Amino acid sequence: MAGKSRAFAQMLRDLIHDFGDPGIVWQIAALAGALLVSFGVARWLSARLQRHYASVPPARRAGASSLLRSMFPLVGWAVVGLVRLGLSDRIHTSLLAVAQVPLLGIGVIYLAFYLLRRLFSQSAQASGMLHLIERFVVVFAWGGMIVYVLGVQGDLFRWLSDIRLAVGRNSLSLLTLITGALWVCGTVLLALWASAVLEDRIMRARAVDANLKVVLSRLAKALLLVVALLVSLSLVGIDITVLGVFGGALGVGLGFGLQKIASNYVSGFIILLDRSLRIGDLVTINSYHGTVSQIRTRYTVVRGLDGVEVIVPNEKLISDVVQNHSFTETRGLAKVAVQIAYSADVEQAMQLMLAAVQDVDRVLSDPAPWAALSGFGADGMNLEMGFWVRDPALGTLGIRSKVNLKIWQSFRENGIEIPYAQREIRILNDWPATPPASAGARVERDPRQNSGDGA
């Protein structure tokens, strides 16, 4: 490390010395030309890479943005190196030598993050964190380079070590906290990658229940993150017993403000463990009816038959009544009703109804459909037919519509009448033609009688 420091310091001294030489203009021109050529070559390579990524699956495009960013600095480092090699016998090339250092450093950083993104492509959380860390590392690298060029890195480290913060009964320096944060980021990324690989293996296991797979993968992720945090703090030298202070504060917070959140998380694990709900179940929760599309640790997503998704807190699924239409039975019963005239043949009508349900898609033949005379109405006899449908979560309206159309056609072909509503209205007029009169009484004609009454 000391050898590298002395070499870079010598480069800077040579550059400062060359700035007093008129030949520095040729170095500036050579560097500008090399960077211009590098920009054109990098754009050509980037265009070819983009065309290549457009034809590959999305899973293989992980880290493509970092690889494209690394093109210009890496190509620039190579072109500047070639120009420096070609001009070394004619002019001084200290400016080109110094310019190669940041170009190589930034290019290697982007290339490293490209490899990390390919490695963590299975974890969405790790990929998002890498995008954030990549920007931070680039800024940190430029800042570190400026500090190194100015030669104040020793003073900066001493200043960070002198600033101490009290944590419980112990005090930690700012340098220790920064180092700990870097270790935490690294170990957390490693834990997220390991949890993504483990989750992929668990999800591919065929002998494990789907809910149990989710529980195991989430428990593994939580355990790996806790272990990564404890290991990183121990590597830095931070006494993890000071976390007891934060643990106590977290317990108080859970007891008051975070009670509902904690209840939802606990309820989520209960649902996943007792398998009362599974992904794909057809459920009714209060006024919401649909299929379970996601079971998260805090909430469950129910997708209605109209496509609208409802987010239900897991606590509601534990404390309220939930109708699970697919808990032990994955098929559903559908019914159609029709009314026939009293003059129709009931037996024939029932046979025609049973025949109408045959060969309809998603209608099961076992259990067999049934038809019954459900009652006698004012206009005709009420018939009802029930049949079992496969995958009722996909909806039954289309099936019932097909069955009703076939019933209507078969009834028309066989002369079975579906009666209209008929009502008989009688107007009774039983008032006397002349109201009884008494002595001295006034006789008035009833206005409800027409002029023809008594004729």
Report whether 318 contacts 267 (CB < 8 A): yes
Range 45-71 average pLDDT? 76
pLDDT band at 382 (very low <50, low <70, confident <90, very high): very high
Is the pLDDT at 6 greater than 70, yes or no?
Answer: no
- The torsion angle over the Cα atoms of residues 127, 128, 129 and 134, rounded to 10 degrees, is 80
User: What span, in angstroms and rounded, lies between the C-alpha atoms of 421 and 344?
Assistant: 16
Highest mean pLDDT among 104-113, 165-174, 273-282, 355-364: 355-364
CB atoms within 10 A of CB 445: 11
State pLDDT tens for residues 76-133: 888 888 888 888 777 777 777 777 777 887 787 777 777 776 666 655 555 566 666 6
**Residues ≥6 apart with Cβ < 8 Å to 160:** 173, 174, 175, 178
pLDDT given for residue 385 in this prediction = 92
State pLDDT tens for residues 210-262: 666 777 777 787 788 778 777 777 776 666 665 655 666 666 665 665 677 77
Is the pLDDT at 8 greater than 70, yes or no?
Answer: no
User: What span, in angstroms and rounded, lies between the C-alpha atoms of 452 and 89?
Assistant: 136
**The residue type at 9:** A
Highest mean pLDDT among 193-202, 227-236, 296-305: 296-305
- In Å, what is the CA distance from 3 to each residue of 10, 100, 341? 11, 18, 106
Task: Output phi, psi for 70, to 5 deg.
Answer: -80, -10
Is the pLDDT at 454 greater than 60, yes or no?
Answer: no
**Domains of the chain, first to last:** 1-151 (no CATH), 271-324 (2.30.30.60), 331-413 (3.30.70.100)
Under DSSP, the state recorded for 368 is P
Beta bridge partners of 173: 164
Beta bridge partners of 376: 381
pLDDT given for residue 52 in this prediction = 79
| Angle at 129 (CA atoms; ends 50, 269), nearest 5 degrees | 120
Is the pLDDT at 392 greater than 70, yes or no?
Answer: yes
pLDDT given for residue 383 in this prediction = 92
